[in-house]
Amino acid sequence: MSPYFEFELKPSAQSLINYLTIGGFPEYIKERTDDILNHLFEDILIRDIAVRYSIKDIRTLQRLAQYLISNVGKPVSGNKLKNIFEVGATSTVLEYLSHMEYSYLLHFVPKFSYSLKKQIANPRKVYAIDTGLVNVNSGSFTEDNGRKFENLIFLHLRRTYKEIYYFSEKGECDFIAFKNGAFHQAIQVCYELNPDNLDRELNGMIEALELFNIEEGTLVTISQKDQFEKNGKVIHVIPAHEYLLK
C-alpha cells in the first residue's frame, strides 16, 4: 500500500476515522513514526514556549501540556489547574495557557455569555491543533473517539470563524459560531447517536437555538444522517465527511 494512501481515500466515515487517528502533519502521515509527533510536541514546549518566554519550571509546563492534550473537549480553569499542579499562582497557569495558544499547540474555547466578565471567569474547553498529536502524546488510558471527533469539528470551524463559544446552561451545545459579532450557527457534535444520548444531544441544541431565536441547527455525527423536529426547531443530522466539505 502506498505511504500516501490517506490522500487517495474518498470522503467517507472510514476515511474520517483514519484522520482522527493519524491527524494531518505530512511527515507523520508519510512515516507513521510516533517519535515525529513526540518530538514536535516537545519542541513546541521547549523552543517555542520555555526558551522564548524564559520559563524555568519546564517540568510543570510539560506536565500541564500533557494533561491538557489528554483532556481535549473538556472544560478547564486556571484555578483548578493551579491546584492540580501545585503552581504558586493562578496567573502563572494562565500565562502558560496563553503561551500554548499563541504557539498554536492548544486552543481554548470560552463558554458563551453576554457578560464579558463571566466569559473570562468561566472554564474554557481545550482543543489541540491536531488529532494525531493527541493520539501520540495523550496520557489517557482510554481511547475517547468522541472527544477527538469534537476536536476535529472545532478545527474545521476555526478555519472560518474567529468567534467560537460553547453553550452550557441546563443542557450543552458544543459550538456556537459568530461572524462579526452576530450569531451564525449552532453545532452539536456526537460520534454516534443512540437511544441513550439522543434526548441529551437534542435538548442542549434546542436550548441554545431558543436563546438566539434561531429555527435550525446542525448535529454532526460520524456516519448518521437524519432530521428531527422538536419544540418548533429543526435539527439536521449530517455525517462529518459531508459537513466538512461544506
What pLDDT score was predicted for residue 144?
84
- Reported as a single tens digit per residue, the pLDDT across 123-159 is 999 999 999 999 999 987 667 899 999 999 999 999 9
- Reported as a single tens digit per residue, the pLDDT across 27-44 is 999 999 999 999 999 999
Give, for 177, the enclosing helix (H) or strand (E): strand 172-179
The mean pLDDT of 227-232, rounded to a whole number, is 96
Q: Given pLDDT bands bounded at 50, 70 and 90, which one contains residue 11?
A: confident
The partner residues of 165 in beta bridges, in order of sequence, read: 176
- Tally DSSP H helices, then E strands, for the chain: 12, 9
Q: Given pLDDT bands bounded at 50, 70 and 90, which one contains residue 6?
A: very low
Q: What percent of the chain has pLDDT over 70?
A: 96
Residue type, 119: Q
CA distance 32 to 25: 10
- Reported as a single tens digit per residue, the pLDDT across 72-125 is 999 999 999 999 999 999 999 999 999 999 999 999 999 999 998 998 889 999
What pLDDT score was predicted for residue 8?
64
- Reported as a single tens digit per residue, the pLDDT across 173-197 is 999 999 988 999 999 999 999 999 9
What pLDDT score was predicted for residue 5?
46
Strand 233-239 and strand 182-189: pairing?
A: unpaired
CA distance 116 to 86: 28
CA distance 31 to 38: 13
Q: Residue 241: pLDDT above 90?
A: yes
Q: Residue 4: pLDDT above 70?
A: no
Q: Residue 160: pLDDT above 60?
A: yes
What pLDDT score was predicted for residue 242?
95
